[in-house]
Amino acid sequence: MRPLGTGMPHKGEDHMKAILPQGFMQMGMSLHRDFDQIAADAESLKNPKHTLKQLSNSMGKCVACHASYQIRVTTPSTRSQSKTIRHNH
């Protein structure tokens, strides 16, 4: 979990802060802090059930973020309408 902690976003997201919504950035940093805590607790507590519960709670943030923030690209169709292209993982 440490590679996903608060040190991770500083490797490449700084240039994105100007264009990404503030709520997106706050949610992302909250998730990175969660990963730091999960790693620390996993090392100190050595309790897999606790770690899995923390991970499950954090994954809720992933779901909320993916539901709230999406990039939709519109392209003109042959009938001069536009269609939305969604990328689902």
* Separation of alpha carbons 80 and 19, rounded Å: 29
25-75 pLDDT, tens digit per residue, is: 899 999 999 999 999 999 999 999 999 999 999 999 999 999 999 988 888
Q: Tokens in use for 79?
A: 């009938």
pTM of the predicted model, to two decimals? 0.70
Position 89 scores a pLDDT of: 46
Tokens (6 digits) for 78: 């042959």
Residue 85, pLDDT > 60, answer: no
Q: Helix 22-45 and helix 48-68: axis angle, to 10°?
A: 170
